A = this chain, B = another copy of it.
Amino acid sequence: MNNVKGFSFSGISCGIKKKGIKDLGLIFSSKECLAHAVFTKNKVIAAPLIVSKKILKKNKIKGVIVNSGNANACTGKKGIISAEKIINNAAKIKNLEFNNFFISSTGIIGEQLDSKKIINKIPELFSKLKPNNIKDFANSILTTDKFIKIKSAKLKIGNETGTILGIAKGAGMIHPNMATMLCYLVTDIKFEKKTFINFINNATDKTFNAISVDGDTSTNDTVLGLSNGFINNSPIKSNTKIGNQLYKEIEKIFYYLASSIVKDGEGSTKFCKVTVKGTQTIIDAKKVCEKICTSLLFKTALFGSDPNWGRIIASVGATGLKYIDQSKIDIKINKNNVVKKGIGCKLTNKINMSMKKKEIDLEINLNKGSKESTMFTNDIGHEYIKINSLYRT
């Protein structure tokens, strides 16, 4: 884990969760940041997103406040007022204007957020800011996560070394779980505004949106990028050597964080990469991916290490794509053929054993075009039921 110049972090307990458990976090930059966020596409969005969207209109902020334990979602005008109060208090302590702070919340939906608990702790939150308090912050934003998710990279930019750091939370495959996913990417490298926006958007599409599947996300999902330009390089542009290199690093960090979220799936025991090839459009390939990644029958077969390709091919057909020809479908599990031209191959011992792996690679080829797409999912087992049937109790 690497510090990022000009950024400091803190994470403390404010009493929304059980006593002593971290539930309030802060990222603060000594220099104003270029900021861009990707929000949930859900039509029901939480109060902090309504507030933060407005603040981000000018693409400039200095800090991010996050609480866990309460999502401040479906809380009406009261919820918006709570979020604004918290930001106001944070701004005051730094003698800054209101619109210097971004706010996120994650946790239970529909209960009013007790803003007083947070406001009382804002002085402590700022006093604990340190450049290397990254883990405290990462801990403070967790809900049902079993582990913190942090990834960073260092890059030579001219004579300087720039750093990119990503911190995320989320457990489950998000869709269809719709548990909240949050990700903060901070960097001291300076970017051209348009380039930074594109990099964050594109990398989110390839990674977080490949687990949240087709925009079906929770009320609070947020990916925020912050660049404070502390190393004072000439602003990074797209389609340059260094630009391409940096984009790859951002995508790698997002991929690591997104796959960590899938792996931390509630009760998940397996990570599965689903690639669909041979469709006429990318949208069609995504449609097939989504159908498989959300098939309960497939996800339970995965849990049971059962190479049950019948459930996979039935999911393919269930998409209703008109040009599907069952006699052309090929399916591979961990590079082994299990279906050739729509007919099942012998399930060898090798295939059966390979289903017991922690990481499963599934490839479906419709052989009807040249487009493809990849998504990521996990299995559904007993732990998932236990966690989610008793979430409130």
* Chain A stretch 320-378: residues in CB contact (< 8 A) with chain B: 320-322, 324, 326-327, 329, 339, 341-344
The size of the chain A interface, using a CB distance under 8 A, is 68
Whole-angstrom CA separation of A388 from B341 in the bound complex: 26
Q: Mark A29-63, 1 if CB is under 8 A from B, else 0.
A: 00000000000011111000000000000000000
A357 to chain B minimum Cβ distance, whole angstroms, is: 16
Which B-chain residue is minimally distant from A303 (CB atoms)? B389
* Chain A stretch 268-299: residues in CB contact (< 8 A) with chain B: 294-297
Whole-angstrom CA separation of A335 from B382 in the bound complex: 32
* Chain A stretch 78-120: residues in CB contact (< 8 A) with chain B: 108-111
- Chain B residues whose C-beta falls within 8 Å of the C-beta of A296 in the assembled complex: 176-177, 296, 380, 384, 388
> Are A392 and B44 closer than 8 Å at their CB atoms?
no
Whole-angstrom CA separation of A319 from B339 in the bound complex: 33
Whole-angstrom CA separation of A319 from B385 in the bound complex: 24
* A-B residue pairs, 9 tightest by C-beta: A109-B310, A44-B317, A304-B389, A300-B388, A110-B344, A42-B317, A43-B317, A43-B324, A303-B389
Count chain B CB atoms within 10 A of each CB in A109, A310, A324 and give the residue with the most. A310
> Are B385 and A219 closer than 8 Å at their CB atoms?
no
Q: Oligomeric state, in number of copies?
A: 2
Tell me if A6 counts as interface (CB < 8 A to partner B).
Answer: no
> Are A320 and B43 closer than 8 Å at their CB atoms?
yes
- Chain B residues whose C-beta falls within 8 Å of the C-beta of A382 in the assembled complex: 382, 385-386
In the complex with contacts A177-B297, A318-B216, A308-B392 CB distance below 8 A: yes
Tell me if A316 counts as interface (CB < 8 A to partner B).
Answer: yes
Option from B306, B317, B381 in Cβ contact (under 8 Å) with A45 = B317
Name which of A68-76, A121-129, A185-193, A197-205 contacts chain B. A68-76
A288 to chain B minimum Cβ distance, whole angstroms, is: 11
Which B-chain residue is minimally distant from A108 (CB atoms)? B310
> Are A74 and B313 closer than 8 Å at their CB atoms?
yes
User: 30 A-B contacts, Cβ less than 8 Å apart?
Assistant: A44-B313, A44-B316, A74-B326, A74-B344, A76-B341, A76-B342, A108-B310, A109-B311, A109-B313, A110-B309, A110-B310, A111-B344, A175-B318, A176-B294, A178-B297, A216-B320, A217-B318, A219-B310, A219-B313, A219-B317, A294-B294, A296-B380, A300-B385, A303-B385, A304-B390, A380-B385, A381-B385, A381-B389, A382-B385, A384-B385
A43 to chain B minimum Cβ distance, whole angstroms, is: 4
Tell me if A227 counts as interface (CB < 8 A to partner B).
Answer: no
A224 to chain B minimum Cβ distance, whole angstroms, is: 21
- Chain B residues whose C-beta falls within 8 Å of the C-beta of A339 in the assembled complex: 74, 110
> Are A109 and B314 closer than 8 Å at their CB atoms?
yes
Whole-angstrom CA separation of A341 from B321 in the bound complex: 38
Whole-angstrom CA separation of A267 from B179 in the bound complex: 24
- Chain B residues whose C-beta falls within 8 Å of the C-beta of A73 in the assembled complex: 310, 314
9 A-B pairs besides A74-B342, A215-B320 with CB distance below 8 A are A73-B314, A109-B310, A110-B344, A175-B318, A178-B311, A179-B297, A300-B384, A300-B385, A301-B391
> Are A306 and B42 closer than 8 Å at their CB atoms?
no
Which B-chain residue is minimally distant from A111 (CB atoms)? B344
Tell me if A218 counts as interface (CB < 8 A to partner B).
Answer: yes
